[in-house]
Amino acid sequence: MSEPIYALDDVAQVYGTRTVLSVPRLDVRAGEVLAVLGPSGAGKSTLLRLLGLLEAPTRGQVRFHSGERWVTHAEARTEERRQIAMVFQRPALLTRSVRANVAYGLRVRGERDAAERIEAVLRRVALDGLAKARAHTLSGGEAQRVALARALVLAPRVLLLDEPTANLDPANVRLIEELIREQNAQFGTTIVLVTHSIFQARRLASRCALLIEGKLVEVSPAAQFFEAPRDPRTRAFLSGEFVF
């Protein structure tokens, strides 16, 4: 079993008076693909923002292991944060070219001479023919691939994906799933994948977590999660009987 890269302890996230997430304990292991499933409003994106060290939890600790030390949101240095890349549920692209969008994160990091890396990632997401196209003219699938390319070009240790294939056609779903699989297999990138699709989780995940009303009701290896779930709510969710 590989080393943990995240450790969550007694985490709660409270917005106003509502506790939208409550996680007594969760580890994410280096090199795994962890799928986070759950109904709308369950707290999946909130969990992902905490893993991205974008906000601090209201209570408890979200700790990230940088390879050298454990850090919290408050402690993480820029170079440690930069090990984590996130693709948001509704990614906002710059109203510039596809290439400029992909180059942006590298420019912010002060990395020049990255032209070859940018071309390579554009080829990987099959957008090399659209490198000069303005991002706001792209189809939904193309825009989603730009958002993914923008994260991949940073060569992150951790990739946090929030519904990366929502509303896409089967060809785009397949392409993006192949990239996710490849990123994990070739580069060992740790991936946390929020998805509404149990089929996608089945295809990609090594472990699955089910979040309902801010609580993790089950976190299991994928085979067990799908074939022999322990929690009756997992069974109900998988069979579509869960009443939201």
Ligand X SMILES: Nc1ncnc2c1ncn2[C@@H]1O[C@H](COP(=O)(O)OP(=O)(O)OP(=O)(O)O)[C@@H](O)[C@H]1O
Q: Which residues bind ligand X (CB under 6 A)?
A: 15, 20, 38, 40-46, 89
Smallest distance from Mg ion to CB 214, Å: 13
Q: Which does 172 bind (CB under 5 to 8 A by kind): Mg ion, ligand X, none?
A: none
Residue nearest to Mg ion (CB): 45
Q: Which does 105 bind (CB under 5 to 8 A by kind): Mg ion, ligand X, none?
A: none
Smallest distance from ligand X to CB 46, Å: 3
* Radius of gyration in angstroms for the set of CA atoms belonging to the chain, rounded to a whole number: 18
Burial group, residue 6, by CB count within 10 angstroms (0-12, 13-18, 19+): buried
User: For residue 42, what is the DSSP state?
Assistant: S
* 15: Cβ contacts below 8 Å, ≥ 6 apart: none
Closer residue to ligand X, CB minimum distance, 38 or 229 = 38
User: For residue 163, what is the DSSP state?
Assistant: S
Smallest distance from ligand X to CB 42, Å: 4
Q: Which does 43 bind (CB under 5 to 8 A by kind): ligand X, Mg ion, none?
A: ligand X
Enclosing H/E stretch for 224:
helix 222-227
Closer residue to ligand X, CB minimum distance, 58 or 66 = 58
* Cβ 206 vs Cβ 29: under 8 Å: no
Closer residue to ligand X, CB minimum distance, 58 or 89 = 89
Report the interface residues with Mg ion, using CB under 5 A: 44-45, 89
Closer residue to Mg ion, CB minimum distance, 45 or 165 = 45
Smallest distance from ligand X to CB 105, Å: 23
Distances (CA, A) of 10 to 18, 156, 190: 16, 27, 23
User: For residue 169, what is the DSSP state?
Assistant: -
Q: Is 194 helix (H, G, I), strand (E, B) or coil?
A: strand
Dump the DSSP string for 89-147.
SSPPPPSSBHHHHHHHHHHHTT--S-HHHHHHHHHHTT-GGGTTSBGGGS-HHHHHHHH
Closer residue to ligand X, CB minimum distance, 88 or 225 = 88
Closer residue to ligand X, CB minimum distance, 39 or 141 = 39
Q: Which does 15 bind (CB under 5 to 8 A by kind): Mg ion, ligand X, none?
A: ligand X
Q: Which does 210 bind (CB under 5 to 8 A by kind): ligand X, Mg ion, none?
A: none
Smallest distance from Mg ion to CB 162, Å: 6
* Closest of 13, 76, 24, 19 to residue 46, by C-alpha: 13
Residue with tokens 């905490």: 50
Closer residue to Mg ion, CB minimum distance, 105 or 164 = 164
Smallest distance from ligand X to CB 161, Å: 12
Smallest distance from ligand X to CB 38, Å: 6
